[in-house]
């Protein structure tokens, strides 16, 4: 039988999506449902003196109007991942802010009405008496003397000061360095913009005191746990959380948001099912943003291009209040990755997490790793520039060599973990070959003579996937304080059909297909005979959800482990039925037979039936093929690759056109190459978006100037040429499937590749750096300055 793993089979989830049969949150209609609209603060920093809801409450069709004062019995949201080993000055949102708001878009009141239209009409009738307070939006300025103070428990607006690496060793390396480069870098704030906005629907049964809550969630079990145990203070068994079809998340749908406990509490208060679906304008203000770092990069290097030390100081803007895992992102997932693909002898990173009067910032596709990769990959190009070496050569000279794996980055910045496996140069070479790098360099020189500006940029990234060993992420000095294992249950039903339930959550990644492929491969059944169920806390084992490129490298490994035990039991049963010794049973292509007698085989379907019917089982064997596995990975996985971007810059307008884009990625073994290519493809476009078009801008009053999709420029298809993709395969030794993970690689790699290309195009004009997004005006201005 042909291998199923590695086949580009079509996705099982697509027919329902393409035909519109899939049900998203806003499709949920319950009998007698009421609708919620939320009044959000127009001020970035203000005290609420009073709220008069009487006019709104009097509007026909309004069921109830509520403010923060009505929910003082509900705890503020938890900040579940604080920066490890240091004090975090934590302030989190309440379901509705009762006293003070710290960013525009914070909810302060809500209306429940017979229709959303009536609810919106009523919002306009709520009268809030505001006392505006001074505003600060820039993370660095917020820490300076005299800046407006946002929270009493956070002097100078500092959430936490965190560091990793060896400051003294770095200091020494800089003192001895042949070359020292300093470069300020801004990694701008991004708005995740999944196609579907967030939403929540809830139903409450008073006699059993039970909630059913539908959430646009990447992690339904985590949402249930946080909402019950932390926010409401009730047993998690009193709530069922269902994540319906979810239209993308990019990280922003992991977190606990005020609206979810609010909607659940409203269902109880008004005694009717209620629903709230976010508008896009709300989404841009009230859903988490990503990135937003102000960084001072310092590189020490030798004249031969080898980097001897990195020193990185970063102000991470975390917004007006902390989202669920906000402090963990710019620390564990950022500082610990600053060695990139390179053997850098000494590294030091210091991070200030900062409150400002802006929207919450948390994990967004890549989460910390794109920021780290941007720093490292810009550093490599700056070294190339300074030494006059080719950027590809600088990367080669600094790469960690294959024989150095498992590799522990310098100064214990990775806190005890080691890069699992890697072979970086072949991916670089293949990318250069596909891109026609040498030829392009000649064209570039030719074009410059005619006043045309061509540029090429590289990005040889690594990332950290398969998050994460509980013994690492759960340690107090990493801060998460929870395991990040995954679970799976496999049942082979009487007819031989297989049902897998998983704690992972599928919101575009294709779990229903890839997990079915692993089952089909292992059990020798058809992919069509496997159903993967997920996203409902009723009926799935606990899992931490889908993010951090962990569902293949952690979640699917749990499935794999379960399958091994199912197979073992099937073998035992086959031995019993065939009256042979277990050691003599061969399991091949879905058939179990005694070695040498394949003609007298039992199919797995027959074995499943025998196990289910159960009248002839070996002594002590329980009926049914059913197994649950919990898999805690021993290490993270470290995918890598090289992307090459070629651009032409319009010398008169500064507009950038991408001529060619090549991606060679190594994500370990691949279950479904079409899905992996698609993940990387989409990720690349998102990364290009950050480089060229995206950027959330708050004015000095804390108003979001990019508050709609007319101003905030997510990338369009017309921005991209056809992406040329290839891969190398370096399996990870971390898990039995050899899978590393592919969900974020594209986003991580693309951004620096594009920026490096544009800077390369202008290098002969003296341009060394341009901050993102590289809009025509910024590129044009950089040309004027030099």
Partner 1 sequence: MFAANFDYYRPATVAEAVQLLSTKENAKILAGGHSLIPAMKYRLAQPSALIDIGRIPELSGIRVEGGKLRIGAMTTHAAIAASADVKAHCPLLAEAADKIGDQMVRNRGTIGGAIVHADPAADYPPNLLALGGSVTAVGPNGSRTIDFAGFWTDLFTTALAPNEIVTEVTVNGYGKGTGGAYADLQHPASGYIVVGASAVVTVANGVCSKVSLVIGGATPNPVRASAAEAALTGKAPTAENIAAAAALAANGISNPIGDSFASGDYRVHLAKVLAKRALTQAAARAQ
Contact 591, 605 (CB under 8 A): no
Minimum distance of partner 1 from residue 523's CB (angstroms):
47
Q: Which residues of 658-696 are buried (b: 16+ CB within 10 A; e: fewer)?
A: bebbbbbbbbbbbbbeebbbbbbbbbbbbbbbbbbbbbb
Cα distance between residue 240 and residue 228, in whole Å: 10
Residue 786 binds partner 1 (CB under 8 A): no
What lies within 8 Å, CB to CB, of 128 at 6+ separation is 39, 48, 50, 51, 52, 108, 109
Least Cβ distance, residue 366 to partner 1 (angstroms): 21
What character string, x for contact with partner 1 (CB under 8 A) and - otherwise, covers 29-48? --------x-----------
Pick the binder of partner 1 from 7, 156, 183, 279 (CB under 8 A): 279
When the beta carbons of 208 and 710 are compared against partner 1, the nearer one is: 710
CB of 279 to partner 1, least distance (A): 4
For residue 292, count CB atoms less than 10 angstroms from its CB and return exposed for 0-12, middle for 13-18, buried for 19 or more: buried
For residues 42-78, b (16+ Cβ closer than 10 Å) or e, as one string? ebbbbebeebebeebbebeebbbbbbbebbeebebbb
- Looking at the Cβ atoms of 119 and 675, the one nearer to partner 1 is 119
3-state secondary structure (DSSP) of residue 333: coil
For residues 494 and 697, which CB has a smaller minimum distance to partner 1 in the complex?
Answer: 697
Residue placing its CB nearer to partner 1 in the complex, 22 or 709: 709
Total residues contacting partner 1 (rule CB under 8 A)?
A: 31
Nearer to partner 1, 508 or 715 (CB): 715
Q: Which stretch binds partner 1 (CB under 8 A): 215-223, 276-284, 439-447, 457-465?
A: 276-284
C-alpha of 212 from chain center? 26
Q: How far apart are CA 276 and CA 262, in angstroms?
A: 10
Rounded Cα distance, 150 and 100, in Å: 10
3-state helix, strand, coil in the chain (%, to 5): 35, 25, 45
Q: Find the shortest distance in angstroms from Cβ 697 to partner 1.
A: 5
Smallest separation (angstroms) from partner 1 to the CB of 652: 4
Positions in 122-151 near partner 1 (CB under 8 A): 124
Q: Which is nearer to partner 1, 120 or 296 (CB)?
A: 120
Is 697 a binding residue for partner 1 by CB under 8 A? The answer is: yes
For 690-769, strand residue ranges (E) read: 723-727
Helix (H) or strand (E) holding 473: helix 470-473
Binding mask of the shown chain, residues 708 to 747, with x at each position contacting partner 1 by CB under 8 A:
-xxxxxxxx--x----------------------------
Binding status of residue 693 toward partner 1 by CB under 8 A: yes
Candidates 156, 183, 281, 526; binder of partner 1 (CB under 8 A) is 281
For the record, the structure tokens of 83 come out as: 């920066």
| CA neighbor of 13 nearest in space, from 675, 490, 560 | 675
Q: Does 121 bind partner 1 (CB under 8 A)?
A: yes
CB nearer to partner 1: give 307 or 772.
Answer: 772
Q: Based on CB atoms, which residue is closest to partner 1, 26 or 210?
A: 26
Among 15, 47, 117, 597, binds partner 1 (CB under 8 A): 117
CB-CB contact of 746 with 661 (8 Å): no
From the list 115-123, 284-292, 306-314, 444-452, the region that binds partner 1 by CB under 8 A is 115-123
- The 648-677 contact track toward partner 1, x by CB under 8 A, reads ----xx-x----------------------
Distance, in Å, from the CA atom of 26 to the CA atom of 65, rounded to the nearest integer, reads 22
By the criterion CB under 8 A, which residues form the site for partner 1? 37, 116-117, 120-121, 124, 279-281, 652-653, 655, 692-693, 697, 705-706, 709-716, 719, 775-777, 780-781
């Amino acid at each position: 039988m042909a291998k199923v793993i590695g086949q580009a089979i079509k996705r099982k989830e697509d027919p329902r999506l393409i035909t519109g049969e899939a049900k998203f949150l806003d499709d949920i209609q319950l009998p007698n449902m009421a609708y919620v609209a939320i009044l959000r603060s127009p001020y970035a920093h203000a005290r609420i003196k009073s709220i008069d809801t009487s006019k709104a409450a009097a509007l026909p069709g309004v069921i109830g109007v509520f403010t923060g004062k009505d929910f003082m019995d509900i705890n503020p949201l938890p900040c579940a991942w604080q920066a490890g080993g240091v004090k975090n000055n934590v302030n989190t949102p309440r379901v509705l802010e009762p006293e003070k708001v710290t960013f525009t878009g914070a909810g302060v009141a809500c209306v429940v009405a017979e229709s959303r239209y009536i609810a919106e009409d009523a919002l306009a009738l709520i009268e809030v008496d505001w006392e505006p307070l001074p505003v600060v939006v820039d993370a660095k300025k917020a820490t300076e003397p005299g800046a407006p103070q946002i929270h009493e428990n956070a002097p100078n607006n500092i959430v936490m000061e965190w560091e990793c690496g060896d400051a003294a060793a770095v200091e020494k390396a800089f003192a001895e360095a042949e070359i020292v480069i300093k470069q300020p870098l801004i990694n701008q704030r991004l708005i995740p913009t999944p196609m579907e906005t967030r939403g929540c629907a809830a139903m409450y049964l008073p006699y059993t005191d039970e909630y059913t809550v539908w959430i646009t969630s990447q992690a339904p079990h985590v949402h249930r746990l946080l909402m019950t145990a932390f926010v409401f203070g009730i047993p998690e068994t009193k709530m069922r959380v269902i994540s319906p079809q979810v239209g993308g998340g990019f990280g922003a749908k992991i977190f606990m948001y005020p609206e979810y406990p609010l909607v659940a509490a409203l269902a109880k208060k008004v005694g009717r099912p209620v629903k709230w679906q976010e508008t896009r304008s709300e989404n841009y203000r009230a859903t988490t943003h990503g990135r937003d770092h102000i960084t001072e990069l310092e590189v020490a290097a030798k004249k031969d291009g080898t980097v001897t030390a990195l020193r990185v100081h970063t102000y991470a803007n975390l917004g007006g209040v902390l989202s669920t895992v906000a402090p963990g992102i710019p620390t564990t997932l950022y500082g610990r990755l600053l060695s990139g693909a390179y053997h850098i002898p000494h590294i030091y990173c210091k991070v200030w997490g900062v409150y400002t009067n802006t929207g919450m910032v948390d994990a967004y596709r890549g989460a910390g790793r794109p920021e780290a990769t941007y720093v490292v990959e810009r550093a490599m190009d700056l070294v190339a520039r300074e030494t006059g070496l080719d950027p590809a050569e600088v990367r080669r000279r600094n790469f960690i060599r294959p024989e150095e794996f498992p590799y522990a980055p310098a100064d214990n910045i990775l806190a005890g973990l080691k890069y699992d496996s890697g072979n970086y140069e072949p991916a670089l070479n293949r990318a250069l070959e596909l891109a026609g790098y040498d030829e392009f360099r000649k064209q570039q020189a030719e074009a410059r003579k005619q006043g045309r500006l061509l540029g090429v940029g590289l990005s040889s990234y690594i990332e950290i996937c398969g998050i994460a060993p509980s013994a690492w992420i759960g340690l107090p000095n990493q801060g998460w304080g929870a395991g990040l294992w995954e679970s799976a249950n496999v049942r082979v039903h009487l007819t031989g059909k297989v049902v897998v339930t998983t704690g992972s959550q599928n919101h575009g990644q294709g779990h229903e297909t890839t997990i079915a492929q692993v089952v089909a491969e292992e059990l020798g059944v058809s992919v069509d005979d496997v159903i993967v169920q997920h996203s409902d806390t009723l009926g799935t084992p606990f899992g931490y959800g889908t993010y951090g490129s962990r569902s293949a490298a952690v979640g699917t490994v749990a499935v794999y482990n379960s399958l091994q035990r199912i197979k073992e039991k099937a073998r035992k049963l086959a031995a019993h039925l065939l009256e042979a010794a277990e050691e003599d049973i061969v399991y091949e292509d879905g058939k179990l037979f005694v070695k040498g007698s394949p003609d007298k085989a039992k199919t797995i379907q027959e074995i499943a039936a025998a196990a289910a019917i159960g009248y002839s089982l070996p002594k002590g064997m329980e009926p049914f093929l059913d197994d649950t596995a919990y898999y805690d990975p021993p290490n993270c996985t470290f995918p890598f690759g090289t992307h090459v971007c070629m651009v032409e810059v319009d010398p008169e307008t500064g507009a950038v056109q991408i001529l060619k884009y090549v991606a060679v990625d190594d994500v370990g073994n691949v279950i479904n190459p079409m899905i992996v290519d698609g993940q990387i493809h989409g990720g690349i476009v998102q990364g290009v978006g950050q480089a060229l078009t995206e950027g959330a801008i708050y004015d000095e009053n804390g108003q979001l100037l990019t508050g709609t999709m007319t101003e905030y420029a997510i990338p369009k298809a017309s921005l991209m040429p056809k992406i040329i993709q290839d891969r190398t395969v370096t399996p990870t030794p971390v898990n039995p499937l050899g899978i590393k993970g592919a969900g974020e690689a594209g986003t991580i790699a693309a951004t620096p590749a594009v920026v490096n290309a544009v800077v390369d195009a202008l290098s002969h004009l003296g341009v060394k750096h341009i901050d993102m997004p590289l809009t025509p005006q910024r590129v044009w201005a950089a040309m004027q300055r030099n």
